[in-house]
Amino acid sequence: MMREYLGEIYRLQSMPEGATTSLLAERLEVSPSAVVRMLRRLAEAKMLTHVPYKGVTLTPAGEREALKSIRRHRLLEVFLVKVMGFGWEEVHAESHGLQLTISEAFEDRMDAVCGYPTHCPHGDPIPTKDGRIAPTNDQPLTEVGVGASAVVRRVKTDDAGKLRYLAELGLVPGTPIRVVNRAPFNGPLRLQIGAGAKPAEHVIGTEIAQVVRVEVVK
């Protein structure tokens, strides 16, 4: 359990808001008080430093553990999609419990059975066994200029409905797109999705566009 908290702290640290008590509580679906107590225990275990009312910072040891948790989580997601046949919108919920009980041997088997994947179904990089993680270099679709071509890299949501919708549209990691048009005042985007002879054209709202991260192609 401690490791899962660390993983979530790591994820949140790389976001603008940082890893706050209430955000952690929300993501882990527990009460804030449960989070605070766990922070104390993790601080005692030298996994992080916690300055009350200020914030939290992972120690190097804490980061190592966090990356182990993230590796496990993302490998599990790949596994559930590629081997078990779950949809990419189902895996978040499904991983929740499994993550806590799989052994290291099982993790290694998943890795092998999936062909040593480098990214999870949503496009996030999977840390290596020795704790290295590939850097990401993408931006929200909302920030891409009209006319630009790009490739979808990551999809930053756990919402099953949004994920289903994105899959329908073909907005999955690896898909090439082009921003055809953007309505004013953060209006909806018109996108060309996919390559080849007949790329589809779709209009998506900003709530969806914010969630899709792309790498612009020169």
Residue 203 as a binder of its own copies (CB under 8 A): the answer is no
Residue 36 as a binder of DNA (CB under 7 A): the answer is yes
Task: Quote the CA–CA distance of 145 and 143 in Å, as a whole number.
Answer: 6
**Candidate residues 106, 151, 194, 202; the one interacting with its own copies per rule CB under 8 A:** 106
**Candidate residues 14, 53, 174, 185; the one interacting with DNA per rule CB under 7 A:** 53
Residue 22 as a binder of DNA (CB under 7 A): the answer is yes
**Candidate residues 15, 37, 104, 159; the one interacting with DNA per rule CB under 7 A:** 37
Task: Quote the CA–CA distance of 193 and 171 in Å, as a whole number.
Answer: 7
Instruction: Please tell me the total number of residues recorded for the chain in this structure.
Output: 218
Task: Quote the CA–CA distance of 132 and 63 in Å, as a whole number.
Answer: 11
Residue 13 as a binder of DNA (CB under 7 A): the answer is no
Residue 98 as a binder of its own copies (CB under 8 A): the answer is yes
Q: Which helix (H) or strand (E) holds 107?
A: helix 104-113
**Distance between start and end Cα atoms, the chain:** 44
* Residue reference for tokens 């046949």: 85
Q: Which chain residues interact with its own copies by CB under 8 A?
A: 83-86, 90, 94, 97-98, 100-103, 105-106, 109-110, 112-113
Applying CB under 7 A, which residues contact DNA? 1-2, 20-23, 28-40, 50, 52-54
